[in-house]
Structure 1
Amino acid sequence: MVKQAEYSARNLSVLEGLEAVRKRPGMYVGSTDSRGLMHCLWEIIDNSVDEALAGYGQSIDITLFADGSVEVADNGRGIPVDIEPRTGLSGVEVVFTKLHAGGKFSSESYAAAGGLHGVGAAVVNALSSRLDVQVTRGGKVHQLSFQRGKPGQFHDKGKPQPEAAFTPLKSGSEVDVVGKAKRGLTGTKVRYWADSQIFTPDARFLYEELEQRARQTAFLVPGLRITIRDERNIADPTGDGQPREEVFQYDGGIAEFVDHLSQLNPVTDVWRLHGEGTFSERIPVLDSSGQAQMQDVERTCEVDVALRWDVGYDTKIRSFVNIIATPKGGSHMTGFEQSLTRVFRKTVEANARRLKAGNDRVEKDDILAGLTAIVTVRLSEPQFEGQTKEVLGTPAARQIVSKVVGDQLTEILASRKRDVKQQVDTLLEKIVAEMKSRIMARTAKETQRRKTALETSALPAKLADCRSTDIENTELFIVEGDSALGTAKLARSSDYQALLPIRGKILNVQKASVGEMLNNAEASALIQVVGGGSGRSFDLESARYGKVILMTDADVDGAHIRTLLLTLFFRYMRPMVEEGRVYAAVPPLHRIEVINPGSKPNEVIYTYSEQELHTRLGQLEAEDRKIKEPIQRYKGLGEMDAEQLAETTMDPRHRTLRRVNIEELEKAEEIFELLMGRHVAPRRDFIISGAEELDRQEIDA
């Protein structure tokens, strides 16, 4: 017989105040690892940022101490230290001990703020073994300490420690006055030690994440100076013992943010879209007795958008509500994207004949290709989905953002100014080219990968395809010139090795637009042969070959052609590179024929660099072996016969391939832009800076 457990009211638990936070920390900060630790830090930093956003304070100093604590100091108004009438506690104690308490539940103190739920400072306090808050107001410096959420006083001398003796407050709300301050000087300084009983042992403050957030905030609040100082390296025996410090301050705002995010060739300037709208919202408002009464209030939503299109197809859009990032979007992003799509569809349809757009319809992804944008809205008491504030839920924001973006973007697209009109025309051509590229990729995907004998092949006539349909084992060799093609046809295994010749140096797609790329015979043929489409619509599953091998001459021109081909793959077929399916063949530079005595056939040795050649010659001389003169120096692949090309470059049993990898995507983009982009000055500086290290004897000219 199963015993029935008794279940009555005495089995119910009621967690008061900060007990609930310590019992279920994941509800408030997401997790108890480094991510949760960083969330706590954001809560404190955001309080300081809200002061700057409201026009009080111009600096925030963040210090990571060697003992694991962190300090955030600002020169805002300072947390109130007077007594809050309903609780009888000081403002400092209310903010740090009471959930859903603060100055952001009405618009009297903050018109727009990031901390809106009133749990930030209290949650951080609850999850800290020690927290010290120092407030400068009215010519005095006030201080109050907490141990795991309980106010009191630590009895430590000199360096503060969480393990020091602690005396809780007995009665009232005692905020100590620990010093005097200059007249007019205000601010708040919070230092806390995360509780090791709550957070995992490997939880750490992540400097790179803090640096990124600080830079982002400095962009969003023009003129705000944020300083990060990391003193943890001082106590690290493996470090250099020097603190790391960085300062972030940007006066250009989100326009400068767009420039920072996008380093590619611009199609347009940075366009700013400003505006605001009002809406009515029914919310509970506390009356004088503390009771909530439902009232209709008029809200104002300010919209500020900065956007720019580049020649590439990557999209970088960051959205914010009161400087709080909303990585999962929300109603404001819905309004932005809907308006963007509507305006450009209407403009393209009105200019369909000039743009040769036909009857096809522009989609959202065609417009977003190459777009870098910052979308910000500011409003009182926005509705977020959850404490992590990743999604904006305020419904009215969608319509307001849509109207502001639609009206101002339409005005820009209709501008008669010469420079703006030129940018608009280029942008519209790019969007239509993206549309055509998407349609072409979709059409290619709908057709069969391999044509049967009863079908006509739409692939380029110069392609020497292979017979195998096993994608994993097939290889596409991109060879330089028709002379190399003839030799390669005799050297390949036609079962699984396909050949595509290219003539000379293809288009530099880093400088060219999508339309120019699609109109280039060599580039479009290569995209068609690979079979996965191009750009954001590239489908790796549709690629017709398991390996793509760039087989160019081992000279300067061959290296240049290889670089141009890699630029094409990086810009328009990047998944092939990311999956490690693009290779560079390594043909030999020299052929040494070693003479063997008697009737024994001569031995052939291939070398791949000048250094290797001299090393092998030295070894042969030491062994007193003779070589046949002259040593053959390959200037190009066409100088090899089929047997030599197969043995050295095409036969998997003997060849050497270099796999092309992308370990750091952003770094790779910077290098491609530096070496292949439109801007000549940075490339010239790069060449001049490395000129002294160049050995002229190594130039193959």
Structure 2
Amino acid sequence: MSDDLLTPAPPAADAQYDASAIVVFSGLQAVRRNPSMYIGSTNADGLHHLVFELLDNAVDEYEAGYCRELSVILRTDGSCAVEDDGRGIPVDPHPDSGRPAAEVVLTTLHAGGKFTGSTYVHSAGLHGVGLSCVNALAESLRVDIWRDGAHHSQEFSRGEPRTELIKEGPAQRRGTTISFRPDPEIFDTCEFSTRILGERLQEIAFLHSGLSARLVDERSGTVARYTFSGGVRAFLDHLNGDATAVHPEPVVVSHVGDAVSFDLAFQWTEGYTEELRSFVNGVRTDQGGAHVDGLRAALAAAINRYATAHKLLDARTGERITTVDILEGLTAVVSLRMVGPKFDGQTKKRLQNPEVGHLVQDIVDAEFTRAMEADEGLGRRVVARALDATRARLAARLASRTARHQRRELDIDYGVYQRQFGIRSKNWHESCSWLTDEELLAKHAEMCDVPADGRMLDVCCGSGVVGGSFKGKVGEMIGLDLTPEMVQLASTRLDRVDQGTVYDLPYPDASFDLVVTREVLHLLPQPERPVSEIFRVLKPGGQFIVGQIVPFADEDAFWMYRVFKKKQPLLYQMFREEDFRSLLLGAGFTDVQMSEYLLWESIDLWIDTHETTPAARREIQRLFYDAPREVREVHPFEVLDDGSIRDQWRWCVYSLRKPR
């Protein structure tokens, strides 16, 4: 190594690091400089979070016993107004600054009436940044306050007052209206969605019986009203819709305590997905947290204990029901009220109080156990539902192990594959990180052990990046793909690319020294058929190198299948490591070697593709947000403050030989 490389570069001539280099943001500049830290993102989610912050304040007034009506009004000029009939924000001078209290809470971070606990007991807004964040990120904002027989107003722009607090005149009513226009300098979109706002207002009305919510869209001239009684039970019925219930009556559990109270309801249906809505002090916790973990742990403990006590499990095989199987078909609503909740961040998507989880688990476990013992039909139906999921999953696994070399005719619509991957080819390399990850490609190429003049076939080659990584290690690189667009892409990396199907490779027996493929076999029905075709075209002693994503353990296997299936409808199986190895050995390969590589992938990038519908994207995100504890213990992933997801994938790269 050259000594020059060890010598640090000289500092820039004008570099200076002293007190003058320290930047201090005043007022609300920090919010405008880094809005995602406060509202999660600057896309549509962040835009609507501004409205949610205002609604949280109205809900707090309801919880305090002062608000009965709230409205969201979407105006034709692109602005949004949130109004309530609560007490109105105080307008008297603040004792510290001398400025009107309303101005203080709209222009100062961490200012509000929710810190002492004397004004609000169960508060949704707890950091004192909600109103000020909305103001900071609004191109313009106006607050109207009706309080103590007077109407006051004040206007702001990008967090700064444009007027003083003005007394408009006398008033008979009380309440607050905040009207704002989001700042296009901040947000990717400033278009409010009636669907998103309607869903939030509906949730508020379900959870707060007696509160009337209204959504007025002046753009279309429509008005929607939301008023419900029945609480979490009515909300659960709404979520279930027309689904067929496994047991006729939901289980409802309520607890009232000094610091923590909750209401929850749950019921199983014959569906295959979990629908779980969780809330803390009226705010939806999209990523769950301690209260949701407590519910799941309670259900798993109570169901397994009941099944064991009533001899409903197969003791010969050590059968047990996993949390994943218990959650299949479950609909649940959890509404928690507590003093001093701790969240991941200002967006309040995940509850962090561990003591809440223990409390919920203990109470739900006891109440659910009591309900099953009192109603034998409930217990047996619930256990049977979970066992169906368990045994179906294990049967599917067994089928993938034993289905080898079955020569029945396949009913495959090759046009589906061609259309999907034809469209994917337009942004193929931008759709995920793993496709062109150099270390992952090197894991494949470094296994190569064939003559330098050998012939290589890249099966289902896509854009040819895998086969291209063997350049210089083989004499000829040939690719094969079903999709014309992929054939064209791969032609820039490989010596020749043919169009055809892996179920009937268009080559004579013993044609190649090396065959490579990656992340393909899980998309194919009867994968033993293409594996046997690969075996056929290899020369005796030839090498097969194949890469595949596999689960970390049994605990995350079915969960990963659900994630990948929602992303890629063509998915047929999520191979476990032992299943994949059995598939390869069943074709006759020997001399198995395996190299493992862990790769972090952006899930938000991965799901932003043609074949993944917006609904499926949301469901995939929810699978991560609501991942059971047993999955989290074995499968590394991260949910960042802005709601984005990083997932760690376990790649297994195999090298095998065709016997001589």
**TM-score for the superposition, normalised by structure 1:** 0.57
Deviation at 1:179, TM superposition (A): 2.4
The SS at the match of 2:298 is helix
Distance 1:210 1:146, change over 3 A: same
* 2:197 alignment counterpart: 210
Distance 1:363 1:7, change over 3 A: same
The amino acid that maps onto 1:221 is H
Distance 1:385 1:6, change over 3 A: same
Distance 2:385 2:267 in 1: 13
1:21 to 26, 31, 46: 31
2:250 to 267, 270, 274: 270
Residue 88 in 1 paired to residue 82 in 2? no
* 1:437 alignment counterpart: 392
Distance 2:349 2:305 in 1: 32
Distance 2:316 2:255 in 1: 32
Between 1:355-364 and 1:366-375, the stretch displaced more is 355-364
Superposed CA deviations along residues 533-583 of structure 1, whole A, max 9, x for unmatched, are: xxxxxx965742899xxxxxxxxxxxxxxxxxxxxxxxx9x959973699x
Deviation at 1:65, TM superposition (A): 0.6
* 1:108 alignment counterpart: 118
The SS at the match of 1:312 is coil
The SS at the match of 2:307 is helix
The amino acid that maps onto 1:392 is L
Q: How does 1:533-552 map to 2 (within 5 A)?
A: 541=523, 543-544=525-526
8 Å contact kept, 2:265–2:332: yes
Distance 1:341 1:10, change over 3 A: same
Deviation at 1:100, TM superposition (A): 0.3
Q: How does 1:260-299 map to 2 (within 5 A)?
A: 260-262=238-240, 263-268=242-247, 269-277=249-257
* 2:218 alignment counterpart: 231
Distance 1:118 1:663 in 2: 37
8 Å contact kept, 1:471–1:545: no
* 2:408 alignment counterpart: 465
The amino acid that maps onto 1:75 is D
**TM-score for the superposition, normalised by structure 2:** 0.60
Deviation at 1:410, TM superposition (A): 1.1
Distance 2:212 2:87 in 1: 16
Deviation at 1:25, TM superposition (A): 2.1
**Misfit runs of 4+, over 6 Å:** 354-358, 468-475, 661-666
The amino acid that maps onto 1:176 is I
Residue 195 in 1 paired to residue 183 in 2? yes
8 Å contact kept, 1:137–1:186: yes
8 Å contact kept, 1:474–1:546: no
Deviation at 1:229, TM superposition (A): 0.9
Tell me the C-alpha RMSD between the 2 structures.
Answer: 3.4
Distance 1:197 1:408, change over 3 A: same
The SS at the match of 1:431 is helix
Distance 1:140 1:322 in 2: 31
The amino acid that maps onto 1:401 is V
Residue 413 in 1 paired to residue 372 in 2? yes
The amino acid that maps onto 1:13 is V
Q: Which has the larger radius of gyration?
A: 1
Distance 2:167 2:19 in 1: 46
8 Å contact kept, 2:140–2:157: yes
Between 1:71-80 and 1:3-12, the stretch displaced more is 3-12
Residue 369 in 1 paired to residue 328 in 2? yes
Deviation at 1:310, TM superposition (A): 0.8
The SS at the match of 1:84 is coil
* 2:12 alignment counterpart: 3
Deviation at 1:393, TM superposition (A): 0.7
* 2:263 alignment counterpart: 304
The amino acid that maps onto 2:150 is K
Superposed CA deviations along residues 55-93 of structure 1, whole A, max 9, x for unmatched, are: 221111111111111111101111111222122222211
Distance 2:168 2:41 in 1: 36
The amino acid that maps onto 1:438 is R
Deviation at 1:15, TM superposition (A): 0.9
Distance 1:346 1:94, change over 3 A: same
8 Å contact kept, 1:449–1:542: no
Deviation at 1:18, TM superposition (A): 1.1
Q: How does 1:6-85 map to 2 (within 5 A)?
A: 6-85=16-95
Distance 1:15 1:578 in 2: 45
8 Å contact kept, 1:471–1:544: no
Between 1:423-432 and 1:257-266, the stretch displaced more is 423-432
* 1:486 alignment counterpart: none
* 1:378 alignment counterpart: 337
The amino acid that maps onto 2:308 is E
Deviation at 1:199, TM superposition (A): 2.9
**Equivalenced residues, count:** 434
8 Å contact kept, 1:355–1:432: no
The amino acid that maps onto 1:465 is R
* 2:620 alignment counterpart: none
Distance 1:664 1:335, change over 3 A: closer
The amino acid that maps onto 1:444 is A
8 Å contact kept, 2:281–2:335: yes
- Unpaired runs of at least 5, structure 1: 154-168, 170-174, 234-242, 279-299, 452-456, 458-463, 476-494, 498-538, 548-571, 583-660, 667-701
The SS at the match of 2:186 is coil
Distance 2:394 2:49 in 1: 43
Distance 1:203 1:178 in 2: 30
Deviation at 1:276, TM superposition (A): 4.1
The amino acid that maps onto 2:227 is Q
Distance 1:474 1:180 in 2: 68
Distance 1:581 1:390, change over 3 A: closer
Between 1:80-89 and 1:314-323, the stretch displaced more is 80-89
The SS at the match of 1:83 is coil
Distance 1:139 1:428, change over 3 A: same
The SS at the match of 1:318 is strand
Taking only the aligned residue pairs, the percentage that are identical comes to: 33
1:177 to 167, 174, 178: 167
The amino acid that maps onto 1:194 is P
Distance 2:196 2:239 in 1: 16
Deviation at 1:426, TM superposition (A): 2.0
* 1:425 alignment counterpart: 380
The SS at the match of 1:145 is strand
8 Å contact kept, 1:472–1:545: no
Residue 248 in 1 paired to residue 191 in 2? no
* 1:144 alignment counterpart: 154
Deviation at 1:97, TM superposition (A): 1.1
Distance 1:581 1:112, change over 3 A: closer
- Unpaired runs of at least 5, structure 2: 1-9, 418-501, 505-520, 530-561, 573-610, 617-660
Q: How does 1:639-654 map to 2 (within 5 A)?
A: none
8 Å contact kept, 1:315–1:368: yes
Distance 1:199 1:576 in 2: 29
* 1:391 alignment counterpart: 350
Residue 449 in 1 paired to residue 403 in 2? yes
8 Å contact kept, 1:332–1:401: yes
Distance 2:566 2:338 in 1: 44
8 Å contact kept, 2:252–2:263: yes
The amino acid that maps onto 2:251 is W
Superposed CA deviations along residues 387-433 of structure 1, whole A, max 9, x for unmatched, are: 11111111211111111211111111111xxxx43233222222222
Distance 2:415 2:218 in 1: 54
The amino acid that maps onto 1:449 is A
